[in-house]
């Protein structure tokens, strides 16, 4: 029997919270590589909250995934057939595999050094780690002695942000959902304090924990949590707008931050960024991140789900906070 390529395509554009039924599973023939191409068997998929924006037909930093097309996504796979110099069957590669079991790649797929842990390649040493690194150091312009506040702190990106700041000797407070994630932040990731936004008054707690104000606020969440942080920015604060996961699945755009005027009074700077712009500088980030992981200064978790058929359900975990660490799927 000939093997088929299973793939998840975008079936409908979600309205409000994305649903599993917005994707459809298809079976097609396994593609054949042409000259300069490789045939890759996907083994791992990585999930990003931004995927919710990729399936909306609204202006964004990349074009929307067209209806009926394979869902876009980063993955790691193994080269099965190669017609591309420098790539051999058995090589592990990383790239935009999409949600499919077989994919045709080219030189744009990065060969992973032998022995690389795909979970690490898709998290701390991948887009996630680079987002934390360049977001904090370049957009946040971290200075020695800065007090750092991170929202979405127990997540893949936020946890690396806080630990980089700790590696630089800065006091760090994280905001996360639930006691288990908060305990992980203080006991394992070395944060000075954690605020459970599900049970605590976030604005009041930031005030108690950061009496001299917040110098760098790395925000992954937006909405009320952004407001709570803005209420406590120090003079010359830098607010890094990395993401706004609280808004990604809202049907209507929320109104702007209530406390934005604090930026004027405190001579602050609020700046967004997209990590893609920093990819040419990936090697410098990877070198530092690798060293911090090796030294035990960056602790990381991967939340590994199993089975290709579970790809849409795995994406949904990000929006309920079910994931503990980088959300991955092992096929
Ligand atoms: N700018 C860029 O280039 C760039 C690149 C990559 C990622 N990002 C952004 O970085 C952020 C984190 O991404 P990630 O991949 O590291 O995911 P992640 O933090 O590992 O997972 C998402 C987390 O968001 C929290 N969350 C979900 N819904 C929430 C809500 N309504 N209110 C508050 N918290 C909520 C959950 O944690 P709790 O259990 O704590 O609620 C969940 O675990 C996202 O905003 C993403 O879009 C930006």
User: Distance between CA 202 and CA 208 in Å, rounded?
Assistant: 10
User: Distance between CA 175 and CA 24 in Å, rounded?
Assistant: 35
On whether the CB atoms of residues 166 and 191 are closer than 8 A, the answer is yes
**Residue 1: pLDDT over 70:** no
Please state the atom number of ligand 1 nearest to the C-alpha of residue 246: 31
- pLDDT at position 98 is 98
- Evaluate: CB of 177 within 6 angstroms of ligand 1: yes
What are 80-104's pLDDT values in tens digits? 999 999 999 999 999 999 999 999 9
For residue 173, count other CB atoms closer than 10 A to its CB.
Answer: 27
What are 146-155's pLDDT values in tens digits? 999 999 999 9
Token output for 158:
């936020």
Strand partners, 95: 75
Number of residues assigned to the chain:
331
* 49-76 average pLDDT score: 97
**Residue 58: pLDDT over 80:** yes
Long-range contacts of 267-272 (CB under 8 A, 24+ apart): 267/235, 267/236, 268/233, 268/235, 268/236, 268/237, 268/238, 268/239, 269/237, 269/238, 269/239, 270/238, 270/239, 270/241, 271/139, 271/238, 271/239, 271/240, 271/241, 272/139, 272/241, 272/242
| Residue whose structure tokens are 């605590």 | 200
**Residue 105: pLDDT over 80:** yes
**Residue 209: pLDDT over 90:** yes
Coil, strand or helix at 218: strand
Topology (CATH) of 4-123+300-330 = Quinone Oxidoreductase; Chain A, domain 1 (3.90.180)
Domain ranges of the chain: 4-123+300-330, 127-276
pTM: 0.97
Output the CA 209–ligand 1 centroid distance in Å: 23
**Residue 78: pLDDT over 80:** yes
**Residue 33: pLDDT over 80:** yes
Q: Does domain 127-276 have CATH number 3.30.1020.10?
A: no
Range in 228-242, 247-261, 301-315 the model is least confident about: 247-261
Mean pLDDT (the chain) is 97
User: Distance between CA 106 and CA 46 in Å, rounded?
Assistant: 20
On whether the CB atoms of residues 93 and 76 are closer than 8 A, the answer is yes
Token output for 193:
């304090």
Ligand 1 atom 39 nearest Cα: 321
**Residue 2: pLDDT over 80:** no
- pLDDT at position 70 is 98
Contacts of 225 (CB under 8 A, 6+ apart): 151, 175, 197, 202, 219, 246
Output the CA 49–ligand 1 centroid distance in Å: 6
For residue 216, count other CB atoms closer than 10 A to its CB.
Answer: 27
Output the CA 282–ligand 1 centroid distance in Å: 21
Best mutation site among 18, 152, 162, 328 for ligand 1, i.e. most ligand atoms within 8 A of its Cβ?
152
- What confidence category does residue 225 fall into, taking pLDDT thresholds of 50, 70 and 90? very high
**Better-scored residue on pLDDT, 59 or 73:** 73
- pLDDT at position 126 is 96
* 70-85 average pLDDT score: 98
Best mutation site among 126, 139, 140, 155 for ligand 1, i.e. most ligand atoms within 8 A of its Cβ?
155
Ligand 1 atom 37 nearest Cα: 321
- What confidence category does residue 254 fall into, taking pLDDT thresholds of 50, 70 and 90? confident
- pLDDT at position 147 is 98
């Amino acid at each position: 029997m000939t093997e088929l390529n299973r793939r998840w395509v975008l079936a409908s554009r979600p309205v409000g919270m994305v649903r599993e039924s917005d994707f459809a599973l298809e079976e097609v023939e396994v593609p054949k590589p042409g000259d300069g191409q490789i045939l890759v068997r996907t083994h791992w998929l990585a999930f990003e909250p931004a995927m919710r924006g990729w399936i909306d037909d609204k202006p964004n930093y990349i074009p929307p995934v067209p209806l009926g097309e394979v869902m876009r996504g980063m993955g790691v796979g193994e080269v099965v057939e190669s017609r591309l110099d420098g790539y051999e069957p058995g090589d592990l590669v990383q790239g935009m595999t999409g949600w499919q079991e077989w994919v045709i790649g080219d030189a744009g797929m990065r060969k992973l050094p032998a022995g690389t842990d795909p979970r690490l390649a898709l998290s701390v040493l991948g887009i996630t780690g680079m987002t934390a690194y360049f977001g904090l150091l370049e957009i946040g312009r971290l200075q020695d002695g800065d007090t750092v506040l991170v929202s979405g702190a127990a997540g893949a990106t936020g946890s690396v942000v806080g630990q980089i700041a700790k590696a630089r000797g800065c006091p760090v407070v994280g905001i996360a959902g639930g006691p288990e994630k908060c305990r992980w932040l203080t006991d394992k990731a070395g944060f000075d304090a954690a605020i459970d936004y599900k049970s605590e008054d976030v604005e009041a707690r930031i005030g108690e924990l950061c009496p001299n104000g917040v110098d760098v606020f790395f925000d992954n969440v937006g909405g009320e949590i952004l407001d709570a942080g803005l209420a406590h920015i120090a003079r010359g604060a830098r607010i890094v707008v990395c993401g706004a996961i609280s808004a990604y699945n809202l049907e209507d755009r929320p109104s702007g931050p209530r406390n934005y005027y604090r930026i004027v009074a405190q001579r602050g700077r609020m700046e967004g960024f997209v990590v893609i712009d920093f990819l040419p500088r990936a090697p410098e980030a990877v070198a530092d991140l690798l060293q911090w992981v090796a030294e035990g200064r960056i602790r990381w978790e991967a939340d590994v789900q199993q089975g290709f058929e579970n790809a849409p359900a795995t994406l949904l975990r990000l929006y309920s906070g079910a994931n503990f660490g980088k959300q991955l799927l092992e096929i």
